[in-house]
């Protein structure tokens, strides 16, 4: 799974991004560059899905893949797929939606794990035990749930079991194994990563990703269908999709919304012009109705986007040159960002 994911990143990046670009994508680095890449190269579903990724493991994998000829490193030593590369299978991880959910999935994991433990222990009559989750917010949350469902805890437990059983039955069987063996409750203690690795003869990366993917799956299914999965839905409550902008970009965005010009914002915020431009592009990426008119006309946006499609690249330099140097890099980035978030009509990718 890890290999597939990395291969997909390489394929989508088209030899235009470094290994660091892949690393930042998977670990969810909050920089304008990474967030723009996520949109531009259609990797936003993988943004921030693997925060515990070890950089050395990624480097090793890239080395191995280039040794085996699976990928090549181009003249700038950016990884690139070859004609013989496998088509990366997205089938094993269709539920990742990192850009939208990666900020709240950890809270869901903490709640679910603790609720399973507390609920199943109660059912089994186990009163004194060490909480599997150390997070005070999750502990408070479970306490509240217990207080609310005082008399219906047995039913809650039964429902939680049935919901998990139902969802896991429709899930990848290996991932279902990982998930259930990681759980603690009813007198059974979950396995460590090391033990899961050994039991299922998988790499540590695949164990972590398999678990994470299952949580994404459960989270989204439960979030969408409260009637079918009432208890799991409870675990998702209050956890909202993120509209990802860095805090600083948020401030700039507010000033733009108040109608200030780029130059005025530069003066007020005492930041470099290029930084403010980064913020504007970032805001355009995540805000579908972002108003680009102070910077570009609608026709110009279409022209730039069409050029990117024709050239099949996201490389600003190529687009800039091919358009005869009429637009500066900021304008091109803004147009592409706006195009991504508003889905301007365009020819399908070849």
Partner 1 sequence: MSTQLASALKKYFGFDQFREGQEDVIRDVMDGNDVLGILPTGTGKSLCYQLPARLLQGTTIVVSPLISLMVDQVKQLKASGYKSVTALNSFMDIKEKKQVIQNLDRYDLVYVSPEMLQNERLQEDFRRMTVPLFVIDEAHCISQWGHEFRTDYLKLHRIIDSIGSPPVLALSATATPEVQGDIMEKLNRPGMIRHIHPMDKQNISLSVEEVQSPEEKTDRIVNILSHIHAPTMIYFSSRQWAEKVSFVLREKLSHRTAFYHGGMEQTDRMLVQQQFMSGQLDVICCTSAFGMGVDKKDIRLVIHFHLPAQTESFIQEIGRAGRDGKPSASLVLFTKKDHYLPQMLIQSELPEREQLDLVLGYLKRQEGQELLEDASIMEQLQLSESQWNFIKYQAEERGVLNHGKVQPFPMDFESRLHALLRERWTYKQGKLTEMLTWIHHTGCRREALYQSFQDHIRPPYVPCCDACGFSVNHLTFQESQETPAAESWKERLQMIFHQGPPHA
Residue 99 corresponds to which tokens in the numbers above?
């850009």
- Closest to partner 1 by CB, 202 vs 283, is 202
Options 1, 8, 114, 116; binder of partner 1; rule CB under 8 A: 116
- Closest to partner 1 by CB, 72 vs 193, is 193
Stretch that binds partner 1, among 185-193, 262-270, 278-286, 288-296 (CB under 8 A): 185-193
- Closest to partner 1 by CB, 20 vs 195, is 195
Number of residues that bind partner 1 (CB under 8 A): 34
Collect all residues with Cβ–Cβ distance below 8 Å to 229 and sequence separation of at least 6: 163, 166, 167, 221, 222
189 interacts with partner 1 by CB under 8 A: yes
User: Please, are residues 11 and 88 in contact by the beta-carbon 8 Å criterion?
Assistant: yes
Options 8, 132, 285, 304; binder of partner 1; rule CB under 8 A: 132
CB 161 to partner 1: min, Å: 4
Residue whose C-alpha is closest to residue 28's, from 56, 4, 52: 52
Interacting positions 150-179 with partner 1 (CB under 8 A): 157-158, 160-161, 164-165, 168, 173, 176-177, 179
- Closest to partner 1 by CB, 185 vs 339, is 185
- Closest to partner 1 by CB, 65 vs 191, is 191
CB 91 to partner 1: min, Å: 20
**Residues 70-109: x where in contact with partner 1 by CB under 8 A, - otherwise, as a string:** ----------------------------------------
Helix, strand, coil percentages in the chain from 3-state DSSP, rounded to 5: 60, 0, 35
How many Å apart are CA 346 and CA 305, to the nearest integer? 8
How many Å apart are CA 146 and CA 30, to the nearest integer? 36
Options 184, 252, 300, 314; binder of partner 1; rule CB under 8 A: 184
How many Å apart are CA 280 and CA 295, to the nearest integer? 10
58 interacts with partner 1 by CB under 8 A: no
Residue whose C-alpha is closest to residue 9's, from 104, 1, 336: 1
How many CB atoms are located within 10 Å of the residue 239 CB? 17
194 interacts with partner 1 by CB under 8 A: yes
Options 123, 204, 311, 318; binder of partner 1; rule CB under 8 A: 123
How many CB atoms are located within 10 Å of the residue 104 CB? 17
CA 212 to each of CA 27, 89, 93, 341: distance values in angstroms, whole numbers, following the listed order: 13, 18, 10, 27
Q: Are strands 71-73 and 79-81 parallel, antiparallel or unpaired?
A: antiparallel
Stretch that binds partner 1, among 184-192, 235-243, 259-267, 274-282 (CB under 8 A): 184-192
- Closest to partner 1 by CB, 194 vs 310, is 194
Options 74, 195, 226, 254; binder of partner 1; rule CB under 8 A: 195
Alpha helix (H) residue ranges in 149-261: 153-169, 173-182, 193-199, 204-224, 230-236, 247-257
291 interacts with partner 1 by CB under 8 A: no
Residue 115 corresponds to which tokens in the numbers above?
């609720």
- Closest to partner 1 by CB, 87 vs 134, is 134
- Residues contributing to the site for partner 1 (CB under 8 A): 116, 120, 123-124, 130, 132, 134, 157-158, 160-161, 164-165, 168, 173, 176-177, 179-181, 183-195, 198
């Amino acid at each position: 799974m890890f290999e597939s994911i990395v291969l997909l990143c390489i394929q989508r990046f088209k030899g235009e991004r470094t290994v660091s670009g892949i690393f930042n994508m998977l670990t969810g680095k909050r920089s304008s560059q990474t967030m723009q890449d996520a949109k531009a190269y259609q990797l936003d579903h993988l943004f921030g899905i693997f925060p515990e990724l070890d950089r050395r493991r990624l480097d090793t994998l890239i080395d191995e893949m280039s040794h085996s000829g699976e990928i090549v490193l181009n003249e700038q030593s950016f990884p690139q797929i070859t004609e013989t590369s496998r088509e990366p299978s997205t089938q094993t991880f269709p539920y990742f939606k990192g850009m939208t959910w990666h900020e709240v999935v950890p809270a869901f994991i903490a709640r679910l794990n603790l609720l399973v433990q507390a609920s199943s222990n109660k059912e089994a009559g186990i009163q004194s035990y060490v909480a599997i989750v150390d997070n005070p917010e999750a502990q408070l949350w479970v306490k509240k749930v217990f207080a609310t469902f005082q008399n219906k805890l047995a039913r809650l437990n039964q429902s939680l079991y049935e919901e998990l059983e139902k969802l896991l039955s429709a899930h990848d069987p290996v991932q279902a194994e990982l998930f259930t063996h990681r759980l603690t409750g009813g007198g059974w203690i979950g396995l460590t990563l090391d033990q899961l690795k050994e039991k299922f003869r998988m790499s540590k990366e695949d164990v972590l990703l398999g678990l994470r993917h299952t949580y994404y799956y459960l989270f989204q299914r439960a979030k969408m269908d409260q009637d079918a999965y009432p208890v799991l839905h409870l675990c998702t409550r209050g956890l909202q999709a993120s509209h990802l902008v860095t805090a600083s970009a948020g401030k700039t965005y507010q000033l733009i919304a108040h109608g200030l010009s780029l130059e005025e914002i530069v003066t007020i915020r005492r930041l470099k012009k290029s930084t403010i431009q980064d913020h504007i592009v970032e805001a355009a990426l995540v805000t579908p109705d972002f108003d680009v008119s102070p910077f570009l006309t609608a026709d110009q946006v279409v022209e730039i986007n069409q050029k990117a499609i024709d050239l099949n690249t996201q490389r600003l330099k190529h687009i800039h040159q091919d358009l005869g140097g009429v637009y500066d890099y900021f304008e091109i980035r803004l147009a592409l960002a706006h195009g991504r978030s508003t889905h301007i009509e365009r020819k399908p990718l070849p």
